Structure formats: C-alpha cells, structure tokens
Chain A
C-alpha cells in the first residue's frame, strides 16, 4: 500500500492529478460495479517551481480529429523521425526543427519526467490584463471607507501595465471615465433597466467611434484598445487619478427612508460591466470584481424588495416556493455568467454584509467563470482586506498567480470516454469521439473554458470506461489521458500546459485486489462529494443524501469483507477504511445540509468546495482538529466530542473557520491570569502555540478563514460543537462513561451509530 500512497503522491506533485482509481477496471461492466466512477481531480496550473516552460510550441498529431500533443508515452522512431500518437496511433513526421533528435538527444516533451510540460507561445498579440472594479456605494460610511482603502491599495498590487476600470453603483450605475483631467467623468445608467450589450456600448460611445473607423479603414480593427481607453486605463498612467477618484467616492446620495433597504442595482451594474468588456476586449484576460454590501434591490437581478419588513429569502422560503425574485434573478445572472464566460472574462464577488447579499442568485457568475467568491461581515475586517490582498499574490517567479481564459481539453485513449467535469468551468460544447453520452457534471464536451484560475483551481473530471467486457485489453495495456490547458499567463503570455498520464488496466474479475489496492479514498471521497454537491444544486437535499448513502452501501458491499447478515464481521481494507467516515462528515457538512445555513452561505461553501484541491476539500469535508496540552506536542485528534477535554486547547480548521477552543480548565487558568506569571511561562507558551499555528494557516489560506478564538462555554464554541462527531450527547451521556469529552446537545447521529447502521445494511442481502 505504501507504494501506492507514494505513487499517488508523486503523481499529484508532478501532474496535479489524483485519480479515484489508479488501476483501471478494463471493462464497462466492471467499471460500473466499482461504484465510485473512474475520475480524477485535476489541478491544471499546479505550481511546479521545478518546471520552467519551454519556449517553443507543441508538436501536434496530424490527425485532424485527434491533435494530441507529442508526449513521453508516444513511440518514437528516431531514425525515421516519426512518432506514433498514443491516442489514435497516427504516425507523424517530426517538424523540421526536430531533425536533430535521437535517443540521447530528446526534446523535453519526450522525457518521462516531463509528463507535464508547459509551452510558452510567443506569437499572437499580447493584451494586458484587465481589472474592472464594480463597487457598491450603498455601504455604511466606515465600510465604504475601508473598501476604498483596499481598492486604492490594490492599485499598487496590479501589474503596472494592466488596465483598470471602475464602475460604481447604488441606485444608479456609474461607469467612470478615467482618462479625463481635472474633472472626473462618469456615464450613468438607470439601475432598473436592463440593457443589451449593444445598447450599453452605444451609450458609452464605444460603437460610434468604432463604426466610422471600420467604414473608413475596414482593414484595421486595431482601434479597439484606443476606443475603450476612456474607461479602462493602464494602472501606471492613472493610478493617481483613480486614487483620487476612489477617495472622493461618496456613499450613494439617494436618501433611504426608514424601513427601506437602499436601492442597489447590482444586476445592471454587472450587466454593464460585462457589456463593457464584451464590446471592448473579448477573449482577453479580464476580471470583473464586484464589491457589494447588500442584496440587489432593484432592476433585473433584484433579489429582494426594498421594504425591510420583507426579509430576504431563506431556505424555508425557497422550499415553499416563496422566493419570488429568485428564479428571475438567477436567470439574469446566469445569462450574464454565460456571456462573460463566452468572452473569456471572469467575475469575482466580494460580498460583505451581515445579512445575505444574494450570493445564491449570483453564484453562477463566479462559478461559471472561475471567479472568486468572498463572503464576509464587513469590508472593514481583516478577513476581507487580507483575502482581497491575496488575490494579487505572486508566485516564486514574481508572477501573479492568477491566470485567465483557459481552455482545458481532455483526450483519452479509445477505451475511455469523458463523462463530464465539475469545477469552475463552462462547457465549450466540443463533441468528439471521446465524449461519453452519459454525463456526470458538465458533460457532453471534451473542452471546457475556465475563465479565471489559479494554481489551486481544481476540476473533477469524470470518465467512463467503454471497453466491452468481451474485448479484453491485452496484458500490459495502458490507458492514457492527456490534459491540454491553454491559458493566458498573468504575464499576458499565452501558455499551454500538457499533462499526459497513463494507468494500467486490470481485469476486475481476476485482479480485483490490484484495483482495490489502487483505490485513492481521499480522491474518491472528494470526487463523490463533488458529484453530490453538483446534484444538490438541482435536486432536493434528501435525495442527494439518499443517493450518497446508497453509493456508500454499494461500495461497502462490493469491497467489504463480511459474512452475510453479520454486521460484526464487516471489515474494510486499509484503502477504504477512511471512506465511510468522510461520507459521514460529508453528510453533515454545509455542502449538503442547508439547516442552519442561509442560502447565501450554502452557495458560498459549495462554490469553494467545487474549486479547491484535494487537501483543502478534505478539510472542508472533515475538519482537522489539533489538541494542545501539557502532555506533549500538539497532536491531531479525532473530530469527536470526546476530544473536547478540560485541560486541552483545541485548534480546528474547517477551511472556512479556524477555531481555537480553550478547555474549561485552561480557560479558568487564563482568566486567573496565570499566563502573566513568570513561573507559569509554560502556560503562556501553551496558550500561544495554537495561535501561532493558526496564523500559519491563515497566511496560506484563500479565502481567508474566519478566525474564532473561544473557550469552553463561549457562544462561539458552537462552531466547534457543530462539527465534531456527537459521540456524546444528552441521550447517551452516561452510556459512554464520564471521564472524557463534552456532550453535544443534538439529535444527530454519531459516527458510531452511522457505522453500525452502515455495516448492517452492507451485510444485508436485502439491499
């Protein structure tokens, strides 16, 4: 097993790929019986400091329907200067530049360690990155002030040649012209009227100047950057202007009467932002960054009316079909998201408010375009400030981590077909021979567009084994998959990253052991979770849970070792041992449970779940709990109520929250001030240790988690209590002995009960 674990880890580090199965069942039938589909988590831009991009272009298979890229798995005839495509077996001539190759003089893409390689494309016009700020002005004064400062600060983080634009909105929407001297100028739009892209461009005067030019000189469509320059300007040119402009930004001046929400035209503002970029910079890397402090209250995309007495929709309302604006608003934002994706731009949403802001309706904007979604209580919190700052973080090369306008193309060898992808992407609707008819996630295509991505963006990609049972694959045959990601690097270069992987086929009948041993339960859990969350977006919650349960039971039936009808005999091998526990926590997670979460929160959690890499995803599913005590170094402990002890300090990381929890005794000691006494310096260190660790996590995490420092009996302890396995509750308090843990007041089932039940069902022949 160790070997497999190493193999998996190595693969992940090199290729950014984790498969649910690392040995593939060789027939469709067997594959279906495996329950967990053959799938992988792909992190297309996984940071590879050791992988400098090569400065030439990839060599493609000459078969028009294939166009696979030359890779280490291809057979090469050095003498004839031919190579055989390992996907379609087409024999291809090397291009003239490769005349010098030989066994000892191989190009990088033929070396096995370059199963992942990045090409840098030199040709084609480079267009600068574009950042369009869309700022809500219906904020409280200090919130707005904080936001303004963040925005001003961000100017210094942008690449100097990047273009920036500013749209502000409240009751009206203002598109600010940045090029003017002396007087700040903006175009204003009514917040209640939806406009087509054409209208927007007309009204911004973008088409007018372009049209005559085209007529005059049809051959030179180069004017575009010039035309749009009024609204999008290079940072280095106008950062002073823009800083002033932001400084003078006023709160929305329209009076808000008692009992009303401010009128907020988020829908139109976004629509204008999209229209503006659509008309001026289609297919160029661009970020629309929406900062909003409340729900859209008017115009298309409105989520709630402006009467405060009508609260914003809750899950309850949605279930009762009582959310009157939801469908329409969702449709509006979906339309925008699709348009944006088509143009290769991405939309970020930074929503900071105590109440909901309509993320449920707007979620598709970041979800489909690869944008960020950040939710906070106020712009005046470090959560927002640091998260925002982190958007502009740089990698080891000093390049921005963000990348734009990526197209991910997947090619498979003929035994496999592509069922779909789940992640921050949209389908490009490219049908091909390797596209399956069964869809999992966004399917029906072999290419997806990921408008905005960073080194951690991860997609779940699902495959279907199509090899028929009666056409066995010859011994030693391997299945291959090639991921080709073309994207615009933050340095504005166009790059292509190619990852080619291969796995062995195994006959499930005879070699089930191999397959079983090659199961990656972590990847499988995340992939299944993604499927579940994907379904949850469109299906009723209970249905999804039932489906998950059924899958789990089937998996246990398939791979468990047991005697029929004897739950106690049930065993799972090591490679599956954690899987049920993941599923247990997944069922309780906010991704599938909406109880106690607002629709916005659910959307927020799901958004991040669908794009984080495996490690982070696992943390989301099953938070990590560390225990600090005088008894030894910090140690990870079970996410269980039994871990909550009086003389411990707990540090829980749920990805979205970092909770530090002081046990009862510790809390009392601290209250008594022992930490300030020189003789109890060790206590002071103990108190400090989790804080330091938490800081470490906070530094690395995006988005910045909510940082909670609480203690036994504190109100915020609920964050911890709601996550741990309720092994001790008011119901079984005495059954479990008294020496440890804290009882959780809940009726939820505990992991033990869940497992008991699972075993029972797994061994039952009835299911």
Chain B
C-alpha cells in the first residue's frame, strides 16, 4: 500500500485528485451527507450512498443496516458478506460466488456494489461507522442476488447492481426495495450464513487484528488506515474480501450461491454491531495483507486520467470506492471453471457448446467438431442477422491454431488417404468432406452443408445409409465422424505439380563484433551441434528428413559447403550484397547424419574464425534473400533461423537508419514507429512466401534495432521473433537456448495455405496473425508451427438459420516436415440465435480479448494510439450496454450489470489498454512495443489470457507438501503480503517477489542467505537447495516454463527494491505508472460509459 502510494508518480496523483477531489472527502466524509458526495459521481453515486447510509451502523459489516436496515437485514442472509460491501453502489459479482452461481444458473445478477471496499476505507475516516456501509452493501448484494434467483434466474448476464443508485443512500434503497422481496426467499441462506459464522469463529479469534481494527475505527478518521493496511479499512474492505476467500475455503461452495454469500455475512444485521468487529478482525486476519486496496483508492483516481476521453468524470463521484473484492475476479472465475469443468472430458459432439476456459485442464473427445485447442470462438451462438450482430457489437471471431499440439492423451488427427482421386470435395464451394455433409438419396449423393450444393458421391466412395440417414461406415471414416483430420494431398495440390522435397533449415548467424563479443556465436555453435539431432521428424521416423545449411554474415555473407565428402567445410563469401545470390547448391543443404563430421568441424571453427573480427556493420535483407534463394535453388520450402544483433546499417538493400524518437509518442506520428522504414522488406517477404521460406528471427540488440522493420519478414512468413536485449551469456544463456531448442524442435508445416469456409450467411472477412495474404480469402503461410494462431473475423452477408446453425471449415494445405503434402481440416458447427441473450450466454471473454487485442494492435499502425484505445472502450461499452438494455432484467440505471460470460471483459480489456503497446511506460522502448505487438498477433487464447492478466501465485501460503499449484491471487499489490513470497508470470516474464518480512527460515531455504537484505535483487536463478520449499518452488517454476511457448526469464524482486517497479508493472489491477487505470477505476469508467449509452 505504501508502495502504491509512493509509487504513483506525484504528478498524476495531483491531477487526479483535482478531478476527483470529492472522492475521499466527500464520499467518505460525506457519507453522512451522502447526497452531497454522491452527486459528483453520477455513476458511483449509487454505491456511495449505500455506504453512507451504512455508515451509521458502522459497527460490523452487517451493520450497514443503518441506512438500509431493513433491507440489510433481509439481505444479510444472502451472501451479504460477499457483496455486503458492494452494497453501496455498484454491485459486483462476488468473485467466487458469482462464478459459481453463473455456472449454475447460467446467468446471475449480482448487485455488485462498485466502490465497496475501496470506498470503505475512505468512508471509514469520515464515518466511524464504516461498518454499516458494508452492511448496506451486503444487503444490497444480498438483495440482488436474491433477485437474481427469484427474478429471472435465466438472465444470462450477471447483473451488477451498480451501487450507482443515485446520489444518496436513498437511491440505493429503492433498489433494495425490490430486492427486499427476494431476501425473503433467500431467507434460508441466512441460516446457512449463520452457520458460517459458526464456522468462522476461529477467525474471529484472530484478536490482534481486531484490536487494530478497532483502533482505526475509533479514530474515526480512518484515513490513515487507508494508507496502512490498517485493519479498520480492512475491516470494511476485508469483509468482502474475506467472503470470497471464505467461500473458497469453506465448504460453502456446494451451497447455493446465495447461501455462500450469506455465509460470511452471516452475521445478520442484528449481530452486526457486536459481531462486526470480530468479523472484521477475522477478515483482517485472513486478508490483512490484502487490504492493500486502500492505497488503490487513491491510485485509481490517478488512474482515471487514462480514460482520456473520460476526464469528464468531473462529476463529483461519490467518494466511494468499489471494493476490489466485490468486483468480478478473474481468479475466481478461473478457479470455478476449473472446478466445474476440469473433471469431465469435453465432448465436441453437440453443436454450439462453449468449451471450458483455456485455463482449465480438460480432455477433449472429438465427436464431430474441432477441439477447442484448434478453434475457439468469441461466441458459440451467432446472431441470425447482421442487425443483431451489429446491435450487440460482439465481434464474431474464431481463433484458429491449426497445428496445435495436443496433450499426449488425445490422439492427433487421423490421416486419410483417398488415393489418386484426392480428397472428396463439394463441387461448388470446394469444401472438404466432413461430418457436416448430409448424404441423401440412399447415399448416392451428398448435400454440402456449406453451400447446399448437391454432389454425386463417386462410386468408390459410395456407402449405404442406415435408418437414421447416416452412412454405415461413418465411424470408420475420420472425415465422416471427426471434427479434425488430415487428407493426404495429391500432386494437384503441389506447387508446379511436383511433390515437394523435404524442407530445409538454414541457420544464419551474425558474426559481427557484437555477436562475438557477447559470446553468442560460441554459445550458439556449441548448442547447434547437439540440437541438430532433434530436428522435427514425422511420426515415428528414425531421422528427420530436414536438411540443414549454414550461413554466417556481417557486412558480407559466408555460406558453407558441408558436403559429407569433404574433409573440412568450405566457406564461400558473397560480398555482392546488393544483388544477393546463392553461391552453391550441392553441399549447402545437407543431411545432418551424413555430414555430421563436417558440420561439427564447421561449428567448431566458426567462433574461432571470427574471434578477432572488428566488423561492426551488418546487413539484413540480403541475408533473408540469400536464404530464400537457397531454398529456391534447392526447390524446397524451409525455415531460416536468423541470429542478428544490430541495426543493419551496412550499405545494402534493406539498410536502415536509427529513427527511434520518443518525441513521437502520443502524437499522430506515433504510428510510424510501428511501420516498417522501407517497403523493401514487404517485397522480400512476398518472395519468401512464394518460396515457402519461413523466417524465425532471434534478436540480440544492445540498442535500437528497429524491430518494427526487422520483424516484417518473420511476421509475413509465419515466423517468430525472439528478442534478448543486452544479451549476456551468463544471464540469458538458458532462456535463449531453451527458446532455440523449442523453436527448432517444434512441429512445423511449410508452404501452407489456409482457407476458412463458412456456411452461407457468414463469411470470413478479416484475418489476424503472422502470415501473408495476396487475396482476400487465402491465408498464405510460408511456415506455420504448432504455436501460431490465426484469428479470423466473420461478418454476416445473409441471414443465418437457427436450424442449420453456422458452420466453419478451416482447411490447411501444407507440407509436413517430412515433405509430405497434406490437408488438415477442422470443422466447427455453431448455433445461431434470434435472441441476444443467447449470444451473451455463449460468449467466451478470453477469445474476445484475444480478438480485441489483435485488432487494436493492428490498429496502431494506422491510427493514433489514443484513437485505438477509445475504439476499444467504446466497443466494450456498447457490448455491455446492449446486454443491459436487451437482456438484463430491469433494474436501476445505476446498476452495472454484466453478462455472466463477460463479467471479466472490463478487467481484461483494461489490461489490454494498459499494455505496453497501447500505453507505454517511460521504460518501454520502441523496439519493445513493436516486439510485443508482433508477438501478440499470433498468440492463442491461452497466451493472451495470461499475457494480459498475469498469474500471481503465492509460494509460501499453502503447505509445503501440497503438490498442486497454489491458488492464484489477483494481480494487485494489495494482495501481496510482506510476509510471503509470490511468483508472477505472464508467459514472457517470471518474477519472484519477496516480501520484506518473510521469515528468515523461508529466505534461508529458498535463497540460501540468512536474511532478506542479503538476497540479491535481480537474481535470475534460484539456488538449488535440498529442502522441500526450494524443490517445490523450483519445480513450480519449471512446470510453468514448460507450459509456455517461450522460456520465461526469472527475476527475483525484493519488496521496496528498485526492481520492484518492474514487477509492479504486471500488477494489472492496480493503477499503472504510465497512467493506466486500476481495475476499479476502469470499471467505474466503463459503467459510466454504459450509462451514457443507455440514456
């Protein structure tokens, strides 16, 4: 907390404060006079009032009763605890509870008080009574929940009853009114709730906290508490927090949501005053550290500026704060999905099923639709008409990963060989035979389900139909029963009507001074010697069919003849870089096994030969050109592995100049930083694609290298870019080698063309990813590996039919690593709906974010960043507003109601908006942005998910002997306890954060030093120690690394250390230094936007 406070750059604060001046003061102080405070913030008013009212009761959380007494009481039963706080204004879905509820009900409405917790702290000061507020919130929550239950349980989305209720509590009350009725129904929960209390007692026992709490409480001015993790604040805030936790910890899960909720709040109103303190204490105890949020308060404001457009918020929002615990928690959602869907296999037989989240481990059984590992959609229920789609603004997109790697338990796609006639296809639309086709006329014909064309079944393919109209052999043929399978392609599918030769890998190594000096070349050559044994091979093949070649370069290129018959390798220097060509054919690309001795000798000699080089200039485009020409000469597809260190300034085509200019940030010209300097690389990329030459680029820059330009070719050829800034062998060796190994070994298809066919009514209109398109339908990929993902956007061009649904067929024609030409087909059938509610009920937020991020990241090349951000916010608001308007049960306008499936949309979207590309901090270089930009463009859903919302795992919380991963916590500083150690990862980075007051024993067993102060900050390796904790942590790190596409470099960060700034950057729920809004603030902002749209 302190940190946060201190951290926020003074200026922003200052600014912010002015804007929200009312916040603390008014809201908190104002509680009593809620009206006043409330007014300023229309949006939040709701909550505020609640608070204010609540305050009176001040005492325990339940107490909120003051303002809402009746209601509160009523509600209390319902998961007060969880939402109690929220009660104020916005209603949030109790993190955990909501999730569960959703699952159960499909859609729940949570009156989630927005400001709850946060505000509380503030409130506290003003009110001694803060507790009351919590109660109120609780009540509200309860009511809403109940409402949900009673109301239209079916309602798809979660309703957040935004505490917004007009200014004062009074406003909120009205809301409560309606709920009031529900409460009753929920009454039963009360009992449960009570039960909880019973259970919880132990918590209460945590006296110390209590004491502290009290003190703050007493000190009416709780402000101070805010700063510190003061119990008081916590008390209030904690309530909510605790609840979720409680929930999770308690068996409550099983209980109906309502009950769970109630559980914690259990302390029914009556109890409130007395109990509350205890409660709080307890909560504090449990969450004590978590309290952090308070600081957030302030920060959020500062954060606000981020909403450039919004600055308007001038409305003196009620000082209230949303309780971070009250707003939808990604952690909870993920956890719930894991618990609910992780156990059973996902069977793809049914059309339009929403698969489990990417974060859930599940098995897939292919019964006619492609596994979600191959295709994920933003929605599995597509509006029937373009109008509906337009209204909802929900992008219709599929994230396709055609060559995704499957877990060992799942079978990889069967290969179907239709012989010389080749795969059976629809005559009109050329769709491939798939389970979606309908056989008619006794099996003599089939109707294409994509274009409705009726085709004859060729005689050799004929088979009788059974009584259901299915072919008798349906289950013998993968193409009739599975969602994903492969065809062997005939020669018609090959370039020049010739079966391809096996592909080749060419390693192109920068040997300029920089590369030599850092030891890169030596390291790389050493590694290649062994790595060449692990080239990808097909199926059970003994050895890889892939041939390899070597090139080194600085200002000129050196090719190597490593023909097996030679006693020693031969080097051929090509200095005519202006007009690149390949100097040799025979002996350049060789079989590793045959030429092993020569290759080894070469790799030994390369570092020696250039050991004394003084050449600092490099070329770049000619290198790629050379590789491409080599493949062309050898008449095969392949991949270039480029290891490059510096800006190519040598006189040659593709020469670049340093154009990095920070002054361009936030100007209209900012976009030029993302654009390539010269068109030469696009032209080159085009040639590469035509040749099936994929380029993987490993960059080792010491300074600006213009990633935006250098990555053009990898990007367009389906390659990857890896960047190791300031490469040092000691520090980066493991990361680089690990990436390299993975990159070399991974399965990859070459010279691929991907075509997405859809049934009549929708059409693939836009594609995102690393590839090249020469027309509007064919995605051309010089190379496509198992990690590469293509996001496809669909638009309506006609009405869809609810009956037949919407069908997708993704066909990928590629050359396998053994040189076999194949077609991989993925089929997916989606539902269509005429009710918007159905759409919102079948959405996948993670996929949505994947699409939106790619869309936005592509946008920055053409539009100012700010425009892109605004567009995102607007779209998000529209989506949610549409839901609110059309699907949610009627409720106060002040309520923020989110669809269950999209309740994380705001938090994730905020993460996207705050990302380095869209809102770079001062330390983010132009290259970094370009790098991330291209990286994201081919990420799959799982990657974007963790990339934008990093995982934060407490390492010291769970018992050492537990084998499972510790439960994640939300990415916010207030969740960190200085007595613990945390691990944070986002797919690229890995941090271990060490709290300042971690037990010495823990420090000793993990770092092998005796005290916190002795831990080296920035440490990148944990010492290998023989104790359970160390083993467990290292094991965890290893397993995390294994899950990710790229090796994550570890950085040990100490609390209060300089490096912590770096770490905090990833605490995405907090306000960021670069001005990104905190989650809470963003949610408020979003709410406001929605309200504007609705009014």
Interface residues in B, total, Cβ within 8 A: 27
Residues of A within 8 A of B566 (CB): 248
Binary CB contact string for chain A from 640 to 675 against chain B (1 if under 8 A, 0 otherwise): 000000000000000000000000000000000000
CA distance A185 to B569 in the complex (A): 9
Please determine whether A174 and B583 come into contact, CB atoms closer than 8 angstroms.
yes
Given the contacts A203-B556, A253-B585, A253-B587, A184 and B579 also touching, CB distance less than 8 Å: no
Please determine whether B605 and A186 come into contact, CB atoms closer than 8 angstroms.
no
Residues of A within 8 A of B581 (CB): 172, 190
Q: How many whole Å from A443's CB to the nearest CB in chain B?
A: 41
Given the contacts A172-B583, A188-B583, A253-B584, A193 and B570 also touching, CB distance less than 8 Å: no
Q: How many whole Å from B577's CB to the nearest CB in chain A?
A: 9
> Which of A195, A204, A253, A254 has its CB near the most chain B CB atoms (within 10 A)?
A253
A202 within 8 A of B: yes
Chain A residue with the shortest CB-CB distance to B571: A185
A182 within 8 A of B: yes
B559 within 8 A of A: yes
Please determine whether A184 and B584 come into contact, CB atoms closer than 8 angstroms.
no
CA distance A255 to B586 in the complex (A): 9
Please determine whether A183 and B571 come into contact, CB atoms closer than 8 angstroms.
yes
CA distance A701 to B704 in the complex (A): 69
Q: How many whole Å from A711's CB to the nearest CB in chain B?
A: 46
B568 within 8 A of A: yes
B573 within 8 A of A: yes
Residues of A within 8 A of B559 (CB): 188
Please determine whether A186 and B573 come into contact, CB atoms closer than 8 angstroms.
yes
Residues of A within 8 A of B585 (CB): 253-255
Residues of B within 8 A of A254 (CB): 585-586
* Chain B contacts with A in 573-614, Cβ cutoff 8 A: 573-576, 579, 581, 583-587, 601-602, 605, 608-609
Q: How many whole Å from B603's CB to the nearest CB in chain A?
A: 11
Residues of B within 8 A of A182 (CB): 568, 601, 605, 608
> Which of B579, B584, B608 has its CB near the most chain A CB atoms (within 10 A)?
B584
* Chain A contacts with B in 233-280, Cβ cutoff 8 A: 244, 248, 250, 253-255
CA distance A559 to B609 in the complex (A): 77
Name the one of A193, A202, A253, A255 contacting B575, with C-beta atoms under 8 angstroms. A202
CA distance A177 to B575 in the complex (A): 14
CA distance A202 to B578 in the complex (A): 12
Residues of A within 8 A of B571 (CB): 180, 183-186
Residues of A within 8 A of B609 (CB): 180, 183
Please determine whether B576 and A186 come into contact, CB atoms closer than 8 angstroms.
no
Please determine whether A248 and B570 come into contact, CB atoms closer than 8 angstroms.
yes
Please determine whether B572 and A187 come into contact, CB atoms closer than 8 angstroms.
yes
Binary CB contact string for chain A from 189 to 219 against chain B (1 if under 8 A, 0 otherwise): 1100101000000111100000000000000
Name the one of A185, A190, A244, A253 contacting B586, with C-beta atoms under 8 angstroms. A253
Please determine whether B574 and A188 come into contact, CB atoms closer than 8 angstroms.
yes
Q: How many whole Å from A152's CB to the nearest CB in chain B?
A: 16
CA distance A193 to B574 in the complex (A): 13
Chain A residue with the shortest CB-CB distance to B586: A253
Name the one of B573, B587, B601 contacting A187, with C-beta atoms under 8 angstroms. B573
Residues of B within 8 A of A203 (CB): 556, 575-576
CA distance A205 to B650 in the complex (A): 14
Residues of A within 8 A of B568 (CB): 182-184
Chain A residue with the shortest CB-CB distance to B580: A190
Q: How many whole Å from B627's CB to the nearest CB in chain A?
A: 15
Name the one of B567, B574, B587, B601 contacting A250, with C-beta atoms under 8 angstroms. B587
Name the one of B572, B575, B579 contacting A204, with C-beta atoms under 8 angstroms. B575
Please determine whether B570 and A187 come into contact, CB atoms closer than 8 angstroms.
no
Please determine whether B570 and A185 come into contact, CB atoms closer than 8 angstroms.
yes
Q: How many whole Å from B635's CB to the nearest CB in chain A?
A: 10
Q: How many whole Å from B656's CB to the nearest CB in chain A?
A: 21
Q: How many whole Å from A204's CB to the nearest CB in chain B?
A: 7
Please determine whether A186 and B572 come into contact, CB atoms closer than 8 angstroms.
yes
Q: How many whole Å from B501's CB to the nearest CB in chain A?
A: 13
Please determine whether B586 and A250 come into contact, CB atoms closer than 8 angstroms.
yes
Name the one of B573, B575, B608 contacting A185, with C-beta atoms under 8 angstroms. B573
Residues of A within 8 A of B574 (CB): 187-189
Residues of A within 8 A of B575 (CB): 187, 202-205
Residues of A within 8 A of B576 (CB): 189-190, 193, 195, 203
Binary CB contact string for chain B from 528 to 542 against chain A (1 if under 8 A, 0 otherwise): 000000000000000
> Which of A180, A186, A248 has its CB near the most chain B CB atoms (within 10 A)?
A186
CA distance A244 to B570 in the complex (A): 12
Chain A residue with the shortest CB-CB distance to B604: A182
Residues of B within 8 A of A253 (CB): 584-587
CA distance A250 to B588 in the complex (A): 13
Please determine whether A188 and B572 come into contact, CB atoms closer than 8 angstroms.
yes
CA distance A578 to B54 in the complex (A): 140
Please determine whether B586 and A186 come into contact, CB atoms closer than 8 angstroms.
no
Residues of B within 8 A of A184 (CB): 568-571
Q: How many whole Å from A229's CB to the nearest CB in chain B?
A: 16
Residues of B within 8 A of A177 (CB): 573
CA distance A250 to B584 in the complex (A): 11
> Which of A183, A205, A254 has its CB near the most chain B CB atoms (within 10 A)?
A183
CA distance A183 to B573 in the complex (A): 12
* Chain B contacts with A in 551-572, Cβ cutoff 8 A: 556, 558-559, 563, 566-572
Residues of A within 8 A of B608 (CB): 182
Residues of B within 8 A of A248 (CB): 566-567, 570
Residues of B within 8 A of A255 (CB): 585
Q: How many whole Å from A613's CB to the nearest CB in chain B?
A: 45
CA distance A412 to B203 in the complex (A): 126
Q: How many whole Å from B498's CB to the nearest CB in chain A?
A: 14
Binary CB contact string for chain B from 603 to 638 against chain A (1 if under 8 A, 0 otherwise): 001001100000000000000000000000000000
Q: How many whole Å from B525's CB to the nearest CB in chain A?
A: 13
> Which of B556, B573, B609 has its CB near the most chain A CB atoms (within 10 A)?
B573
Residues of B within 8 A of A204 (CB): 575
Residues of A within 8 A of B584 (CB): 172, 188, 253
Residues of A within 8 A of B569 (CB): 183-184
CA distance A174 to B609 in the complex (A): 19
* Chain B contacts with A in 21-55, Cβ cutoff 8 A: none
Residues of A within 8 A of B583 (CB): 172, 174, 188
Q: How many whole Å from B831's CB to the nearest CB in chain A?
A: 57
Please determine whether A183 and B602 come into contact, CB atoms closer than 8 angstroms.
yes
Please determine whether A193 and B573 come into contact, CB atoms closer than 8 angstroms.
no
CA distance A338 to B554 in the complex (A): 35
Chain A residue with the shortest CB-CB distance to B588: A253
Residues of B within 8 A of A187 (CB): 572-575
Binary CB contact string for chain B from 388 to 399 against chain A (1 if under 8 A, 0 otherwise): 000000000000
Residues of B within 8 A of A244 (CB): 567
Q: How many whole Å from B272's CB to the nearest CB in chain A?
A: 85
Chain B residue with the shortest CB-CB distance to A170: B584
CA distance A460 to B567 in the complex (A): 53
Please determine whether B572 and A183 come into contact, CB atoms closer than 8 angstroms.
no
Chain B residue with the shortest CB-CB distance to A185: B571
Q: How many whole Å from A421's CB to the nearest CB in chain B?
A: 40
Chain B residue with the shortest CB-CB distance to A254: B585
Q: How many whole Å from A269's CB to the nearest CB in chain B?
A: 13
Residues of B within 8 A of A183 (CB): 568-571, 601-602, 605, 609
CA distance A177 to B556 in the complex (A): 15
CA distance A184 to B602 in the complex (A): 11
Please determine whether A186 and B556 come into contact, CB atoms closer than 8 angstroms.
no
Q: How many whole Å from B617's CB to the nearest CB in chain A?
A: 11
CA distance A254 to B558 in the complex (A): 18
> Which of A184, A195, A244 has its CB near the most chain B CB atoms (within 10 A)?
A184
Beyond known contacts A180-B609, A250-B586: 6 more, CB 8 A cutoff: A183-B569, A185-B570, A185-B572, A188-B584, A248-B567, A248-B570
List 5 A-B pairs, Cβ < 8 Å.
Answer: A177-B573, A183-B605, A188-B573, A193-B576, A203-B575
Interface residues, chain B, with chain A CB atoms under 8 Å away: 556, 558-559, 563, 566-576, 579, 581, 583-587, 601-602, 605, 608-609
Closest 8 A-B residue pairs measured CB to CB? Answer: A253-B586, A188-B583, A203-B575, A185-B571, A187-B573, A188-B572, A184-B570, A190-B581
